[in-house]
Amino acid sequence: MASKAWWAGAAIYQVYVRSFADGNGDGIGDLTGLRSRLPYLARLGVDAVWVTPWYPSPMADGGYDVADYRAIDPVFGTLAEAEKLIEEAHSVGIRVIIDVVPNHCSTEHAWFRAALAAGPGSPERARFVFRDGIGDGEQPPNGWESIFGGPAWTRVHDGQWYLHLFDPGQPDFDWHNPDVRAEFEDVLRFWLDRGVDGIRIDSAAVLIKDFGLAHPECYTDRDGIHEIYRGWRRVADAYPGDRALIGELWLPDHERFAAYLRPDELHTAFNFQFLSSAWDAAALRSCVDATLAAHAPVDANATWVLSNHDVTRHVTRYGRDDTTFAFGGKLFGAPTDLALGTRRARAAALLAMALPGGVYVYQGEELGLPEVETEIPNHLRQDPFYRRSGYTDPGRDGCRVPIPWAGTAPPFGFSPPDAAADPWLPQPPSWAAYTAAAEDGDPESMLTLYRTALRIRRSHPALGAGGIRWRPERAERAPAGSDAELAFDRDPGFACVANLSTRPIDLPPHEEVILASIPLEDGRLPVDAVVWLKT
């Protein structure tokens, strides 16, 4: 029986801090803004917030280039304010998860500066991946490409090259080096001492590099990585309360993925296959089955993720002909039916919240925000993905546009009324219809659906951690020849039915309708809708 620790069935809200709420009017979200919105999050009904990196950073990659793991960037606030945030969140029943970035730091990190100063062969350089070039030294050590595009190596003043799987501003650590291991265990303690309840581990599968292999096998999911997380688990286990270690693992193989969740490693990880899957009954069902099957032997809980700060928002994805997501294959600007996408997003939310395990909510998905695509002028795009792909990939700015809180014109309450600067990315004027204030109290809004569903999910004994039983009659009741209904039971007395077919379907026998993603039609479940039933 998988764990009943707080995170096992939690609803976790992701805050991309630059874009959540701006307290001081400089156009950038900050901790003052986040603290002022804790009542909103408490009312939404989430169990925890995950705050993306808040550390001092030159912001080459939105803060995933960390200059100091034990401080807060002045643009966001101070360490004292972060401590206050943790305390205030706890006082309204919300746990706090922070983001730790172990694969790489910033070129402004003290260790990297020391490595540059100390020169080739020094112990300072050995904490990173410095190599000599090939040929006359003018060529990078090998042909590896950065995940953001372009070469994964940059040359320094004395001729050596350093590895960066991401931006040149993000030098990779050498995780074979004991200094690096000790340092990160200490960073974990620094934050656990301050009361954080969980650590989201950035790029968790790429820490160990194997130079004998072809790209990208060379750095993805090398066996040696598990020893690192066993060490982290020992650190977390030494603290009172349940402190969760949560891996960002983009791994196609379910068994390899689940190996990170063995009882002496991480507690949970993001399920990106669910997010990448098409809005298609067979695809979703096989994702659910594979997910649950992989988690069972390691006795871990699954998670269900629809969006985050790296991917196209799902209202937009689901409004397209191709509803899948893949990096490098973004369907930027493709024809999108937002009404259809929104309807499916409502259904997907109820499906995700009914499945066993934890669920993630990315800020703004509870408002039904679409991806902002062509409405961001190219010269304002900030994501390094855009530049490094040679301007072929639009990057991830479109899901990072500042949240609309209230009012009829930008900044929609994101910044205070007397703000000195505009939001760091422009908000489309059409977002007047998506503000939290506009949706508050509207029975048909996405916000009302999320609040209602999260409230039910929290109190219903069948929801959160546990198991499911697919309904066998599913295939027969769906329209002839199709297998477009997903229906499962959970104990006690709960059923979830999703209609991904092309016609309304009859509901199975039930005592009452708990919640439907859109109104039923003559007692039948419309297309692209999900219903929760008391059975």
Helix (H) or strand (E) segment spanning residue 192:
helix 178-193
For residue 280, indicate whether it is catalytic.
Answer: no
Could you give the count of Cα atoms lying within 13 Å of 233 in the half-sphere of its Cβ? Answer: 17
Nearer to Ca ion, 26 or 242 (CB): 26
CB contact at 8 A, 467 and 289? no
61 contacts which partner out of ligand NOJ, Ca ion, none, CB within 5 to 8 A by kind? ligand NOJ
Other C-beta atoms lying within 10 Å of the C-beta of residue 6: 17
With binding defined as CB under 5 A, does residue 21 bind Ca ion?
no
In the complex, the smallest distance separating the C-beta of residue 252 from ligand NOJ, rounded to whole angstroms, is 17
3-state secondary structure at position 529: strand
Q: Which residues contact 2 (CB under 8 A, 6 or more apart)?
A: 8, 295, 296, 299, 300, 301, 465
Is the CB of 53 or the CB of 140 nearer to Ca ion? 53
Q: Which of 14, 154, 203, 307 binds ligand NOJ (CB under 6 A)?
A: 203
The span from the CA of 14 to the CA of 361, in Å, is: 6
Q: Which stretch, 27-35, 142-150, 173-181, 503-511, contacts Ca ion (CB under 5 A)?
A: 27-35
Residue 175 or 405: the one with the smaller Cβ distance to ligand NOJ is 175
Stretch that binds Ca ion, among 10-18, 25-33, 149-157, 518-526 (CB under 5 A): 25-33
The correct pick among 6, 26, 195, 504 for binding Ca ion (CB under 5 A) is 26
By beta-carbon proximity to Ca ion, the closer residue of 33 and 356 is 33
How many residues does the structure list for the chain? 535
Residue among 22, 30, 47, 61 that touches ligand NOJ (CB under 6 A):
61
CB-based burial of residue 493 (10 Å sphere; 0-12 exposed, 13-18 middle, 19+ buried)?
middle
Site for ligand NOJ in 160-179 (CB under 6 A): 166
Nearer to Ca ion, 73 or 439 (CB): 73
Question: Taking CB under 6 A as the rule, which mask of x and - marks residues 275-314 in contact with ligand NOJ?
Answer: ----------------------------------xx----
Query: Residue with the closest Cβ to Ca ion?
Result: 30
Stretch of residues binding Ca ion (CB under 5 A), selected from 17-25, 175-183, 315-323, 477-485: 17-25
* Of 27, 68, 97, 143, residue with least CA distance to 382: 27
- Among 24-32, 58-66, 137-145, 261-269, the segment contacting Ca ion (CB under 5 A): 24-32
CB of 342 closer than 8 Å to CB of 319 = yes
Distance in Å, CB of 62 to Ca ion, minimum: 15
Q: Please report, as residue ranges, which positions from 421 to 460 form the binding site for Ca ion (by CB under 5 A).
A: none
Phi, psi of 280 (to 5 degrees): -155, 130
Residues in binding contact with Ca ion, number by CB under 5 A: 5
17 binds ligand NOJ (CB under 6 A): no
Q: Is 248 a catalytic residue?
A: yes
101 vs 259 by CB, closer to ligand NOJ: 101
Cβ-proximal residues to 248 (8 Å cutoff; 6+ apart), any chain? 200, 201, 202, 203, 204, 205, 269, 270
Smaller CB separation from ligand NOJ, 61 or 371: 61
Q: Does 28 bind Ca ion (CB under 5 A)?
A: yes
Closest CA to 93 of 27, 134, 151, 43: 43
Q: How many residues in the shown chain lie near ligand NOJ by CB under 6 A?
A: 9
Give the one entry of ligand NOJ, Ca ion, none that residue 203 binds, where binding means its C-beta sits below a cut-off of 5 to 8 angstroms depending on kind.
ligand NOJ
What is the largest distance, in Å, between two alpha-carbon atoms of the chain? Answer: 77
Catalytic residue among 248, 265, 373, 397: 248
Nearer Cβ to Ca ion, position 24 or 448?
A: 24
3-state DSSP of 444-492 = CCHHHHHHHHHHHHHHCCCCCCCCCEECCCHHHHCCCCCCCEEEEEECC
* Among 382, 375, 439, 383, residue whose Cα is nearest residue 406: 439
Q: By CB under 6 A, tell whether 101 contacts ligand NOJ.
A: yes
What is the closest distance, in whole angstroms, from the C-beta atom of residue 320 to ligand NOJ in the complex?
A: 23
Q: Which residue is nearest to ligand NOJ (CB)?
A: 64
Q: How far is CA 204 from CA 3, 136, 248, 266, 477, in A?
A: 22, 35, 5, 10, 43
User: Which 422-461 positions form the footprint of ligand NOJ (CB under 6 A)?
Assistant: none
The residue range among 21-29, 103-111, 342-350, 387-395 that interacts with Ca ion, by the rule CB under 5 A, is: 21-29
Residue 24: contacted member of ligand NOJ, Ca ion, none (CB under 5 to 8 Å, by partner type) = Ca ion
Does residue 492 have a cis peptide bond before it, meaning omega lies within 30 degrees of 0? yes
Footprint (CB under 5 A) of Ca ion, residues 29-88: 30
Q: Which residues pair with 304 in a beta bridge?
A: 359
In 3D space, the residue among 61, 492, 41 whose CA is nearest the CA of residue 310 turns out to be 61
Nearer to ligand NOJ, 111 or 166 (CB): 166
State CA 474 to chain mean position distance. 32
Catalytic residue among 47, 99, 174, 202: 202
Instruction: Please tell me the distance from the alpha carbon of residue 529 to that of residue 535, in angstroms, as a whole number.
Output: 19
Least distance CB 167 / ligand NOJ (angstroms): 8
- In 3D, which of 331, 434, 424, 436 has the Cα closest to residue 374? 331
In the complex, minimum distance from the CB of residue 99 to ligand NOJ, in angstroms, rounded to a whole number: 8
202 binds ligand NOJ (CB under 6 A): yes
Euclidean distance between CA atoms 362 and 296, whole angstroms = 26
Residues that bind ligand NOJ (CB under 6 A): 61, 64, 101, 166, 202-203, 248, 309-310
**Residues labelled catalytic:** 202, 248
